[in-house]
Each structure stands twice: as C-alpha cells, then as structure tokens.
Amino acid sequence: MSFAALIRLQQGLAALKADHLERRRLLLDGAQGAHVTINGQRVVSFCSNDYLGLAADPALIAAAHAALDQCGVGAGAAHLISGHHRFHQDFEAAFAHFVGKPAALLFSTGYMANLAVLTTLLGRHGEVFGDKLNHASLVDAAQFSGATFTRYRHGDLAQLESQLAKSGAQDKLIVSDLVFSMDGDIAPVDALLDLAERYDAWLYLDDAHGFGVLNGGRGGLTERARASDRVIYLATLGKAAGVSGAAVAAHAAVIDWLVQRARPYIYTTASPPLLAACLLESLRQIEVGEARRERLRSHIVQLRTGLAGLKLGELMPSVTPIQPLLIGANADAVSASQKLLQRGLLVPAIRTPTVPVNTARLRITLSAAHSADDIAHLIEALHGIAPT
C-alpha cells in the first residue's frame, strides 16, 4: 500500500541530495583527541570542542573506571524518583562553588538545560530577548516557552534597549551566548547586566565555549555577574570539560524552582552517575589546568600570527579557541575544507543556515592537546591552498 507521508520524506531526502545540502556524519574510531581516525583516515582534528584535551585524559578515564565499579552503568530512574546519586549532588555543589554562584543543577545535555530554563521561567506572558547569533538550542527553547520572542542584531545593545523599553511583559529574560559558537567573540556581559537591571529582566548566559577556558577555567562571568541574583549561568560539560551534560548555576530559589517545575529535568532518566564522577575529576583538572590554558593561548597566538596576510580569507577577531577563517562563498569554503582533508587536516566548512549567507567559513577550533607542530602544519597547508 502506498504511504503518502513516507513518499514525501523520500522526495525531501532526494531534493537535499540534489541541492548538495545533505548532511553526512563522519565516522570516528577510537578516542576523541587532536589526532583522530575519521572514516578510516588518520587526521589532525581542528573541529572538536575538547579545548583542554580532557575527553580522553588518563585522570578522567581512571575516575570512570573507579566509579563504574562502585555504581555500575545506568542511573535507573529520574532524579525525583531514585536516580539522584551522591556523585550528581557532589558535582553540583563543587560546580556552584567553582563558578561562584549559590547553587547549581546538573542536566543531561546543554540542549535540555536551555529548554528547562526558558520554558520554566517564562510562560505566555513573558518575553525573551535574544541575540540573533545565539545557539540554535536557545532559539528552540525561546520558541517552546510560548513567550514572546524578540531578537536583536548581534551585539546591538541600542536595539536591545529599545525593545526592552517597549515591552509590557511581566517577566523579561535577556539571553545570550557568552562566547558565540560560530564567531568566537565574547558577549558584553556587564553592559547586558546594566540593561537587565534597568529593565528588571533576568540575564541568562550560555557559556558552552567559555567554561574551562576563560578566567582560570571559571568561564566568562564578570565579578558583577557572579554576584547578581538576576544572572543565570550555563556551562555545558561535553566541550572543554570533556565529558557530557550541562550545569545551570544561579540563586538557590531559581535552582529549587527548576527542580520543582522543569519538565526536561523531571521527566527524564538521570544521567549515569559515573559521568558525574568523571565531571568531578574534570573540575579538578580544570582548576589546576593553567598549563593547558597557557598552551591553548600560545596556539591561538601562533595561528593568528601565522595566518596574517593569508590570501584565502581572514581570521575573525577572536581571543577564544574558536578561530573562524571567513571565506565568503559556500563553494570556496567547501573546496578549502576538502583540500585540507587531502593533506590530513580536518577543518569543517560552516555554511548557511548555521551562519548568515556569504559568510561561509572554516571553523578552526584549537585544543591544548594540539602540538605547536600541528598548528604549524595547518598554517603551512592554508598558505599552500590559497590563491597565488
């Protein structure tokens, strides 16, 4: 029997393929790291978010082995039933202390944490104000919340202020990536906080790419933002922390309310407690990780110095491990990415709709796990493929 909906799916897939928009997954064997085996080829990877090289660190692997013997594999239940393990709780306390907030809550993923915060703090009578370059999970969360969703041009605080001034919403929330995931630039935290104070709004900062890296690993919060009751902080834990999950840190009342009401927290099985044990070890490594961060900083300087005057494109202004090389046309970015792969270097081409049209780029990410030789290899290859 013919099934029309299935046929439409098949036609949709065929259209994506015809337009060269079909996404393919690369197949990884072995551990994540600076050097990986992808689709059977050994390459230097410049695309992971494992900025400190913790994903396969021996101390974290040892923590996983030890926890596995103590608590097995699965959590078995949701946090509000019987799945809330001491490792989860200990991590929450250690994380809150480290980032300088009164309380914290651990989620299975950053996507779910963003969904939880926005849908729980805001309802139909609220309004969310988001930077246009915010991560997709924040866009989805704002839409799912049912609140009015207003976007301001990237970094345009004058526009944000006029939107706030016009708003009649009872609950207002300003949301921003702290380090922008496709550009690598840092949000003006104190200026956003000024606006949040002036217009009595929450300020929610998603620091997926700053936690572990900025300010001794504590992330991109300023002292004022740390101390403010209206600032809610998110760190994701699958990037620099090298494990999985996400933690929200805020005033204790915010955390208590999320435990009571956040459906993406309540109606899901707790993450395996062994992951929380790994996260405790990761937090220790981040705290003492200045040598890793120093290596990362020196890689950033080496790359930016080495690519000055490159004919292929220009590095966007960034002091973070996200170092996008702006190329422009989709086809040029894709072709550069393919040529690099032939030289054993994995650097993804990012195109629309992930970034605005005509800003296709190579999104280079650096890690403390890279060597200076890896960076030199990339610099040489980019000069080698540039038009003469």
Ligand X SMILES: *Cc1c(COP(=O)(O)O)cnc(C)c1O
Q: Which residues are catalytic?
A: 181, 209, 239
Shortest approach of ligand X to residue 181 CB, angstroms? 4
Would you say 177 or 185 has its CB closer to ligand X?
177
Give yes or no for residue 91 binding ligand X (CB under 6 A). no
Choosing from 104, 173, 240, 246, the residue that interacts with ligand X (CB under 6 A) is: 246
Give the one residue of 57, 92, 185, 206 binding ligand X; rule: CB under 6 A.
Answer: 206
Residue of the chain from 236, 285, 320, 365 that contacts ligand X (CB under 6 A): 236
The reply to whether 110 sits near ligand X by the rule CB under 6 A is yes
**Residue 109 or 282: which CB sits closer to ligand X?**
109
Q: Which of 177, 183, 185, 281 binds ligand X (CB under 6 A)?
A: 177
Q: Is residue 109 near ligand X by the rule CB under 6 A?
A: yes
Which H or E run contains 42? Answer: strand 41-45
| 179 contacts: CB under 8 Å, gap ≥ 6 | 185, 186, 187, 207, 208, 209, 210, 213, 214, 220, 320, 322
What's the closest the beta carbon of residue 134 comes to ligand X, in angstroms? 7
111 in contact with ligand X (CB under 6 A): yes
Contacts by 249-257, CB closer than 8 A, 24 or more apart = 249/95, 249/96, 249/99, 249/101, 249/103, 249/104, 250/101, 250/102, 250/103, 250/104, 251/101, 251/102, 251/103, 252/102, 252/103, 254/103, 254/121, 255/102, 255/103, 255/104, 255/105, 256/103, 257/120, 257/121
Q: How far is the CB of 317 from ligand X (least distance, A)?
A: 19
**Dist CA 321 CA 310 (whole Å):** 19
Q: Is 337 in the site for ligand X (CB under 6 A)?
A: no
CB 235 within 8 A of CB 279: no
The residue sitting closest to ligand X, measured at its beta carbon, is 110
User: Which residue in 104, 174, 208, 355 binds ligand X (CB under 6 A)?
Assistant: 208
d(CA 328, CA 338): 16
Contact set for ligand X, span 133-172 (CB under 6 A): 135, 137
Nearer to ligand X, 184 or 374 (CB): 184
Residue 18, number of CB atoms within 10 A of its CB:
9
Closest separation in Å from C-beta 236 to ligand X: 4
Q: Which is it for the CA torsion 260, 262, 266, 271, positive or negative? A: negative
Q: Per rule CB under 6 A, is residue 181 in the interface with ligand X?
A: yes
How far apart are alpha carbons 278 and 65 in whole angstroms? 9
Which of these ranges, 13-21, 34-42, 109-117, 147-155, lies near ligand X under the rule CB under 6 A? 109-117
Enumerate the H helices of 19-101 as residue ranges.
Answer: 58-71, 86-99
Residue 122: CB minimum distance to ligand X, A: 18
- Where along the sequence are the contacts to ligand X (CB under 6 A)? 109-111, 114, 135, 137, 177, 181, 206, 208-209, 236, 238, 246
